[in-house]
Amino acid sequence: MSTQQTRVALVTGGSGGIGRSVVRRLAQDGYAVAVHYAGNPERAQEVVEEITKESGQAIAVGGDVADEQAMAAAFEATQAAFGGIDVVVNTAGIMVLAPIATLSLDDLDRMHRTNIRGTFVVSQLAAQQLRAGGAIINFSTTVTRTQLPTYGAYVASKAAVEGMTLILARELRGKDITVNAVAPGPTATPLFLNGKDESLVATLAKAAPLERLGQPEDIAETVAFLAGPARWVNGQVLFSNGGLA
């Protein structure tokens, strides 16, 4: 298949957690994939090797998502390797949990930089560079609706992501580019499981009507839907949470 016939995806945070499952799922659909990492090139290279062993196309690209020059370089590297970009998936994010009354403002700033500025930087570049028929897929969280204590600062950052996502969809009128956000529920990733005891995890697993935690592959299916066949879904926040909220 020629490069022009192959859809190309850039996945931020693509070396771990949900991002890694998204990369694998898009590769299964025939996408050439740029696997972005922030600080662990070895892990990103492992993902690249997994895909290329299955005769797929993948490269690793690095950088801080909030650094516009680093991300511009990542976009350029992706285009140089594959000829263009059709889909950008923003899974990169950080989560620090604490009550609003006691959260370190340094932690607030770190989440703001990665989750808000990072999403903005990458969305801005995607809006400028994606080919017609493309898709921008950002990440929110179901906790914007369930309002769990200790998630205040994290939810604030993800509510901002939802806001910019819905407005960007309207700003790209006439470009044939969709812009949506995925809002996962409790999903069995290191980011989610870190710091939670077995009892809390079991309680959260029972919260959804399907009575289990989501798996990264569940979220990747939602992303694959928005990236490819879901051309009439635009300017939406899609909750992938087993019916939790």
Tens digits of residue pLDDT in 108-145: 999 999 999 999 999 999 999 999 999 999 999 999 99
pLDDT bucket at 1, cuts 50 / 70 / 90: very low
Mean pLDDT for the stretch of residues 180-192: 89
Per-residue confidence (pLDDT) for residue 73, from 0 to 100:
98
Q: Name the pTM for this structure.
A: 0.94
Per-residue confidence (pLDDT) for residue 176, from 0 to 100:
98
pLDDT tens by residue, 39-97: 899 999 999 999 999 999 999 999 999 999 999 999 999 999 999 999 999 999 999 99
In Å, what is the CA distance from 160 to each residue of 38, 79, 101, 205?
Answer: 22, 29, 20, 27
Query: Distance from first CA to last CA of the chain, Å, rounded?
Result: 42
* 17-28 helix and 41-53 helix, angle to the nearest 10 degrees: 20
In order of their start, the domains of the chain are 3-240 (3.40.50.720)
**Residue 37 among the catalytic residues:** no
